[in-house]
Amino acid sequence: MSRAEQKEKNKRRRAFLDALDEQLSNPETPEINEQYERLLDLGIPDLKARLQMARVFANYVWHTLRKDDYTYGDYVAELSRLPETDSSNEYVVDGDEIA
C-alpha cells in the first residue's frame, strides 16, 4: 500500500473513530458504552477496543447504506461478540502501529 493510500485509510479510520466516540458519549446509545466497558474489563487497551468497535460500526454503516436488513440491534449484537469477531491483529492509526 502506498503512503497516500495509507494516509487515506487512516483518514477513514479516524472518521469512524470520531463517530464511535460520539456514540460513546451519547446518552441515547448506552449499549455502545456498555460494550466498550466490557472490552476494557477484558483487558483490551482503550485504543484497540475502540478500533475493534469502529470496524464493526463501519460494517453497520456499509449495510445501512446498502439498505440491507441489518439493524441497530444487529450492530449491538455484533459488538457483543468482540473480540472474537475481530480478525485483525494489526492496527495503524496516524502512522503508529498497535499490536
pLDDT in tens, 3-25: 999 998 889 999 999 999 999 99
Q: What is the mean pLDDT of residues 64-77?
A: 95
- Asked whether the bond before 83 is cis by omega within 30 degrees of 0, the reply is yes
Please tell me the distance from the alpha carbon of residue 62 to that of residue 16, in angstroms, as a whole number.
Answer: 12
Please tell me the distance from the alpha carbon of residue 36 to that of residue 83, in angstroms, as a whole number.
Answer: 11
Residue 51 near residue 16, CB atoms below 8 Å: no
Contact residues for 59 (Cβ-Cβ < 8 A; gap 6+):
75, 78
| Strand ranges inside 5-58, DSSP E | none
What local confidence, expressed as pLDDT, does residue 99 receive? 34
State pTM to two decimals: 0.80
